[in-house]
């Protein structure tokens, strides 16, 4: 039988033929090298991850722009409805003789500010004010934020035709001054 002499085995272990053959050869603890598991990502993994995230972001960008435009369109619809309802209520109050109106006037407000500032109710003895709007909404597509809300809208007088709106002595209708088209293909100024 061949005996293997190992520096880490004691002399008692070395004398036993069973341990000499079966025992694994162990290195001293000081000479063993322990390598930690590889931590982190490789450069190629990072580049691929950044590329995938970039592609996903580019796909979401048009969706966020579309959502933003839809929100502005909803705001435009609501503002037009609110102003037009107030204009109609002003006309109704004039037709019911609650507002002073001359014979040559249409009964529509002279300007948009009159809807917020209010007019005197001539049917009440105290001369209470009738208010048609709490505040005048802005055109959400108006680009100049320094303009007052009334200047963000195009005005159509009662005497002007619908295909060629222009300002006059009263405000019969309002429209957006934006040159852009809506998602439905109709220009905002035609809403």
Q: What confidence tens digit (pLDDT) does each residue in 121-153 have? A: 998 888 899 999 999 999 999 988 899 999 999
Tell me the average pLDDT of the chain: 84
Measured CA to CA in angstroms, residue 126 lies from 78, 121, 160 at distances of: 34, 9, 36
120 bridge partner residues: 129
Question: Which has more pLDDT, 165 or 25?
Answer: 165
pLDDT value of residue 164: 87
pLDDT at 44: 93
Rounded to two decimals, what is the model's pTM? 0.69
Give the rounded percent of residues in the chain with a pLDDT score beyond 90: 55
Q: Higher-confidence residue: 27 or 111? A: 111
Arithmetic mean of pLDDT, 38-50: 88
Q: Is the pLDDT of residue 38 over 70?
A: no
pLDDT given for residue 140 in this prediction: 95
Looking at residue 105, its pLDDT comes to 86
Alpha-carbon dihedral sign for residues 166, 171, 175, 178: positive
Residue 175 pairs in a beta bridge with: 154
pLDDT at 28: 61
Distances in Å between the alpha carbon of 115 and those of 59, 119, 156?
45, 8, 15
Residue 108: is its pLDDT beyond 60? yes
pLDDT value for 170: 93
Mean pLDDT of 99-113: 90
């Amino acid at each position: 039988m061949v005996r293997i002499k190992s520096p880490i085995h004691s002399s008692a272990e070395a004398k036993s033929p069973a341990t000499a053959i079966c025992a694994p050869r162990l290195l001293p603890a000081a000479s063993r090298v322990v390598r930690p598991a590889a931590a982190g990502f490789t450069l190629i993994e990072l580049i691929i991850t950044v590329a995938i995230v970039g592609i996903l972001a580019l796909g979401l960008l048009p969706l966020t722009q579309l959502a933003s435009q839809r929100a502005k369109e909803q705001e435009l619809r609501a503002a037009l409805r609110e102003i037009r309802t107030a204009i109609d209520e002003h006309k109704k109050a004039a037709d019911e003789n609650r507002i002073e109106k001359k014979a040559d006037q249409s009964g529509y407000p002279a300007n948009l500010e009159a809807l917020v500032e209010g007019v005197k109710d001539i049917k009440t003895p105290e001369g209470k004010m009738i208010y048609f709007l709490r505040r005048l909404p802005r055109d959400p597509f108006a680009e100049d934020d320094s303009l007052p809300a009334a200047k963000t809208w195009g005005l159509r007088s009662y005497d002007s035709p619908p295909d060629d709106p222009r300002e006059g002595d009263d405000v019969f209708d309002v429209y957006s001054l934006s040159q852009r088209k809506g998602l439905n293909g109709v220009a905002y100024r035609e809403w």
